[in-house]
Amino acid sequence: MDGAAHKTPGTAVIVIGDGLSGALAAAALLNRGYGVTLIGVNGRPGQGTAYADGADIHQANGPASALSADPTDPDHFSNWLEARYGRGGIPGAGADIPAADAFVPRWLYGRYAAEILQAAARGGGLTCLGAEVTDLEAGQSGVRVTLADGRQVAGSHAVLATGLHFTRPGRDPAAGAAFAPWDIARMRALPVLADVAIIGSGLSMVDAVSSLAEAGHQGRITVFSRHGRRPEPRRLAPEWPDYLTGLPDRITIRALFALVVRQCRLAIVSGGDWQSPLDLVRAHIGRWWWASDDVERRRFLRHVRSLWEVHHHRAPPLGHARVAAAASRLTHIAATVQRVEADPGQTGPGHADSRQAVTIHHRPRGGEAVLALGFDAVILSAGVEYDWRRIDRPLVRALLRRGLVRPGPLALGIDATREGRVIDRDGEAALRLFALGPLLRGLWWESTAIPDIARQSFEIAEIINPEPALVSDPGAGPWKEKVNEPD
Ligand SMILES: Cc1cc2nc3c(=O)[nH]c(=O)nc-3n(C[C@H](O)[C@H](O)[C@H](O)COP(=O)(O)OP(=O)(O)OC[C@H]3O[C@@H](n4cnc5c(N)ncnc54)[C@H](O)[C@@H]3O)c2cc1C
């Protein structure tokens, strides 16, 4: 996919991050004729953590009909699957399943994203660099990024597509001894009856339990999470009448919650599925979150967030079946993990000593006392750190230090305008610096899933205007403007 940018150096749009956000933003820009320099640590555009090469049991959490990467064509992914594999041949899906209803392995989605980028780059214009961006300067005449090896790359604009940064419970370096939820190869080296802890109970926990099963593990599994809830299974629920479109942008979380619960109950008593009315919320949550004030948003975090997480972010069928199959060996502990302590002599695959390799210090929900439990191995499925002030990556620190970004609402990601123009420390919107994906969680609440990223990448490509004249003439026009966003 390497190739020379078809515009002169410095006029390409620099896309930082080569996960799904970076790949789709790059493709959308290329499709509009812009040169793109795509820079990513991974070096395999489109994959990121979510869609990296992996096992079939790690499925995308929605049917293909919900995962189009083209917001103008909802059938784009289903059609791609059919064209590539034909009906009945889709990896991981049953022979009788129509492409639109298929739950596919996530690695397959990575291929789809990579092909979208390849197709967009067919006419030239794409340069891919496998490197970490450590610094960024933005000025009137363009942007310049610095790479970890000291090289510098200039462009007309930059798009931050740096994605997810994972949390480490207790910020304890010992947590570095932990397994990733997808690391089946490493899990295979564990004793079959190893006593395993999983920190976190969301969808990555489902991946972790699936990976353990794939690795042949048959021992005890203890899941630690603050609330003790776990994801519901995703079903292909029947349609439900739209009861939300007429609602105003400003609505209290209490009123909304009551309305949604009422509709879910109605669905159950009428022989339907509560998932149908709940799923209609997704299309509106962004406008409600945007229009809310921080008091109302905090109310959502306090009272609704964990319910939303397990009922909306539901487990795909295979993963849910694996968790159900392990139920008799699985214990949930509702607790805050304070520290993970690893015995350096005991971690790693296959240790034979009877002493346990990892101690988890945790405070059970509602209690004061900190307890300690020992395990043979620990898997970190603890979720994402959205507060940039806590992320220890060079680019994140540099952007904050330079004042080019500021924390977003409730310190979830960074601040930006509706179209993704990054807002700086002084409250001014950049004309040359954009962001999309998980970084914008504070603006929309849901800004991490495939449909969000697909939409945002299109929107960014539509408003970026890399006019060569503006790039070559430092005096031409302002490079940031005062934000005047409506409430
Ligand atoms: C395990 C998992 C499963 C998921 N499953 C689903 C699903 O089924 N359906 C769904 O809709 N969503 C799912 N998601 C949500 C998912 O986050 C998004 O769909 C998407 O993968 C996010 O892509 P991204 O490019 O924004 O971030 P990432 O995937 O995190 O990619 C960012 C990339 O940028 C690189 N990078 C970061 N900083 C720099 C830098 N300074 N310089 C160079 N490179 C950098 C990173 O190394 C990384 O490769 C899942 C997420 C995870 C983690």
Angle subtended at Cα 157 by Cα 457 and Cα 70, rounded to the nearest 5 degrees: 15
Residue 21 near ligand 1, beta carbon < 6 Å: yes
Determine the atom of ligand 1 nearest the C-alpha atom of 166: 53
Q: Which of 279, 397, 450 to mutate to test the pocket of ligand 1 (most atoms within 8 A of CB)?
A: 450
CATH superfamily of 169-232+315-380: FAD/NAD(P)-binding domain (3.50.50.60)
Encoding tokens for residue 375? 């395990």
Minimal-distance CA residue to ligand 1 atom 34: 17
pLDDT of residue 344: 62
Minimal-distance CA residue to ligand 1 atom 51: 50
Residue 438 near ligand 1, beta carbon < 6 Å: yes
Task: Report d(CA 457, CA 78) in Å as an integer.
Answer: 20
Please give the helix or strand (H or E) that residue 274 lies within, else none: none
Domain ranges of the chain: 13-58+105-165+387-482, 169-232+315-380, 253-312
Calculate how far, in angstroms, residue 471's C-alpha sits from the geometric centre of ligand 1: 30
Strand partners of residue 39: 16, 129
Task: Report d(CA 114, CA 343) in Å as an integer.
Answer: 41
DSSP string, 104-128: -BHHHHHHHHHHHHHHHTTTS-EEE
Please give the helix or strand (H or E) that residue 160 lies within, else none: strand 157-160
Calculate how far, in angstroms, residue 88's C-alpha sits from the geometric centre of ligand 1: 29
What's 35's DSSP letter?
-
Calculate how far, in angstroms, residue 224's C-alpha sits from the geometric centre of ligand 1: 24
Residue 448 near ligand 1, beta carbon < 6 Å: yes
Q: How far is CA 55 from CA 58, 97, 233, in A?
A: 6, 20, 19
Determine the atom of ligand 1 nearest the C-alpha atom of 42: 49
Residue 164 near ligand 1, beta carbon < 6 Å: yes
Strand partners of residue 332: 223
pLDDT of residue 349: 46
Q: Are 51 and 107 in contact (CB under 8 A)?
A: yes
**174-224 pLDDT, tens per residue?**
556 789 999 999 999 999 999 999 999 999 999 999 999 999 999 999 999
Encoding tokens for residue 346? 């005991």
Residue 42 near ligand 1, beta carbon < 6 Å: yes
Residue 40 near ligand 1, beta carbon < 6 Å: yes
Instruction: Extract the residue ranges of the chain whose pLDDT is less than 50.
Output: 1-9, 173, 347-354, 468-478, 484-487
Determine the atom of ligand 1 nearest the C-alpha atom of 436: 26
Minimal-distance CA residue to ligand 1 atom 41: 133
Task: Report d(CA 211, CA 58) in Å as an integer.
Answer: 8
Residue 437 near ligand 1, beta carbon < 6 Å: yes
Q: Which of 14, 21, 37, 160 to mutate to test the pocket of ligand 1 (most atoms within 8 A of CB)?
A: 21
Residue 163 near ligand 1, beta carbon < 6 Å: yes
Task: Report d(CA 264, CA 277) in Å as an integer.
Answer: 6
Strand-pair category, 157-160 with 152-155:
unpaired
pLDDT of residue 476: 38
Residue 50 near ligand 1, beta carbon < 6 Å: yes
pLDDT of residue 230: 85
pLDDT of residue 2: 36
Task: Report d(CA 429, CA 142) in Å as an integer.
Answer: 15
Q: Which of 104, 127, 162 to mutate to test the pocket of ligand 1 (most atoms within 8 A of CB)?
A: 162
Determine the atom of ligand 1 nearest the C-alpha atom of 204: 1
Please give the helix or strand (H or E) that residue 161 lies within, else none: none
| Equal CATH topology for 13-58+105-165+387-482 and 169-232+315-380 | yes
Calculate how far, in angstroms, residue 48's C-alpha sits from the geometric centre of ligand 1: 4
- Could you confirm whether domain 13-58+105-165+387-482 is CATH 3.50.50.60? yes
Residue 200 near ligand 1, beta carbon < 6 Å: no
Residue 68 near ligand 1, beta carbon < 6 Å: no
pLDDT of residue 332: 96
pLDDT of residue 331: 96
Minimal-distance CA residue to ligand 1 atom 36: 17
Q: Which of 16, 38, 39, 41 to mutate to test the pocket of ligand 1 (most atoms within 8 A of CB)?
A: 41
Residue 19 near ligand 1, beta carbon < 6 Å: yes
Q: Tell me the whole-structure pTM to 2 decimals.
A: 0.91
**91-122 pLDDT, tens per residue?**
888 778 899 999 999 999 999 999 999 999 99
Residue type, 21: S
